[in-house]
Amino acid sequence: MVGDLLPYYRRLRRHFGPQGWWPARNRLEVVVGTILVQNTAWRNVEAALEQLRRAHRLSLPGLRALSAADLGQLIRSAGFWRQKARTVQGLVAWLDGQHAGRLDRMVRLPTPVLRRQLLQLRGVGPETADSILLYAGGHATFVVDAYTRRVLLRHHLGPPPPAPSPDRASYIQVQSWIESRLPRQAEIYNEFHALLVAVGKSYCHRREPDCPNCPLRPLLPGDGRPAARI
């Protein structure tokens, strides 16, 4: 069980190379990025981060100094900007109130405690919480996102959907399935998740799961069988 996914991890890493996630310059950028990227293409997030940077507001003091309206305008390109501005401000307020405004203290909390606290924040769900835990804090927590599900489905991996319903496994079920098949190390969770995103992005077309030109078919199992619906 443990280590079942290691061969795939190694194969993907040889093919794509180290991914070096999260694409950010510091811890705060990771945290802000995890919120901005919710259901949004990363390029739109980059534009928003750049706007914050140019306004000298991509820092805790900078964010504190912004009204919700002004923050919203700066992150507009990331979409859902009213919600996301509120979420960022809520997170900064919580950080100030509970952790003396210090991310380095926040990430030192035990994983289950920090996860629970993050999930209490409005606008922070399981994926955002786990992204902060893993990519900002180095906690060994696997991030389940749309790419994770898509790639697992396409290659007939992952937990079976619980019959008769719902039609897909829960976040926790997918997360447990992966975590129990890899060494419990943040570095491996980090890299494997980033590699799954690289796989997902490299598919010729999301709507053509059987495309014979997909260069990744030898990298993950599932060849010789009809591809799962994605």
Binding residues vs DNA (CB under 7 A): 21-23, 34, 37-44, 47, 76-84, 121-129, 131, 135, 143, 145-147, 162, 165-167, 197, 200-201, 206-207
4 or 187: whose CB is closer to DNA? 187
**Do residues 106 and 114 touch, judged by C-beta distance below 8 A?**
yes
Shortest Å distance, C-beta 201 to DNA: 6
Shortest Å distance, C-beta 68 to DNA: 11
Nearest CA to 92 out of 48, 4, 136, 28 is that of: 28
7 or 202: whose CB is closer to DNA? 202
Helix ranges (H only) for the chain are: 6-16, 27-36, 42-54, 60-64, 68-74, 81-99, 103-106, 111-120, 126-131, 146-154, 171-179, 186-202
d(CA 107, CA 139) in angstroms, rounded, equals 8
Shortest Å distance, C-beta 117 to DNA: 12
2 or 191: whose CB is closer to DNA? 191
80 or 189: whose CB is closer to DNA? 80
Residues 6+ apart with CB under 8 A from 1: 180, 181
Shortest Å distance, C-beta 70 to DNA: 15
Shortest Å distance, C-beta 161 to DNA: 10
Nearest CA to 146 out of 134, 136, 131 is that of: 131
123 or 138: whose CB is closer to DNA? 123
